[in-house]
């Protein structure tokens, strides 16, 4: 109870929750997330967010997406999800890596009115420009960039 009251005071006083309460998504389905354990250099050329895939993340995926609340599903997800322990960015260059180590570049506001995407996001290893769909990975990739480099893609 005291810990909850202290956390509530910190949130009210600072306007932010602890980094451990944040989640980063590794996929577009409900519950496909990891828990933030630390942040450093946010908004700089050396932005890093360290993460852990925890049992509560695995449970959220199975409860919210698969609609199964069993511990067997949690164990299966913990064993099968293979993501890195961090995402990184160079906010000055507007480049970043996701939880699979893929590299992306933010190229600014989308000029094509027919595009589903608000911004141009390019996968650097292939040269592919993401089309704005969840199938292309656009919402996940852009979401990671927005957390690492706040204020650029609003």
> By the 8 A CB rule, do 111 and 132 touch?
no
pLDDT band at 145 (very low <50, low <70, confident <90, very high): very high
Angstrom distance (rounded) from CA 93 to CA 112: 23
| Structure tokens belonging to residue 26 | 């590794």
Q: What is the SS3 assignment for the chain? A: CHHHHHHHHHHHHHCCCCHHHCEEECCCCCCCEEEEEEEECCCCCCEEEEEECCHHHHHHHHHHHHCCCCHHHHHHHHHHCCCCCEEEEECCCCEEECCCCCEEEEEEECCCCCCCCCEEEEECCCCCECCCCCCCCHHHHHHHHHHHCCCCCC
Predicted local distance difference test score (pLDDT) of residue 118: 94
Question: How much is the average pLDDT of 28-33?
Answer: 84
Angstrom distance (rounded) from CA 97 to CA 90: 9
Interval 47-56: pLDDT, tens: 999 999 988 8
Interval 73-132: pLDDT, tens: 788 888 888 999 999 999 999 999 999 999 999 999 999 888 899 999 999 999 999 999
| Structure tokens belonging to residue 94 | 């507007």
């Amino acid at each position: 109870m005291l810990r909850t009251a202290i956390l509530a005071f910190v949130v009210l006083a600072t306007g932010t929750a602890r980094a451990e309460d944040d989640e980063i998504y590794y996929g577009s389905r409900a519950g496909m997330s990891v828990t933030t354990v630390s942040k450093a250099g946010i908004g700089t050329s050396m932005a890093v967010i360290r993460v852990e895939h925890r049992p509560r993340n695995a449970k959220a995926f199975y409860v919210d997406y698969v609609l199964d609340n069993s511990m067997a599903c949690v164990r299966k997800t913990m064993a099968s999800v293979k993501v890195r322990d961090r995402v990184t960015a160079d906010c000055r260059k507007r480049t970043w890596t996701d939880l699979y180590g893929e590299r992306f570049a933010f190229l600014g506001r989308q000029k094509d009115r027919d595009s589903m995407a608000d911004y141009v996001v390019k996968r650097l290893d292939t040269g592919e420009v993401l089309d704005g769909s969840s199938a292309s990975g656009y919402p996940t990739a852009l979401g990671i960039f927005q957390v690492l480099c706040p204020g650029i893609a609003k």
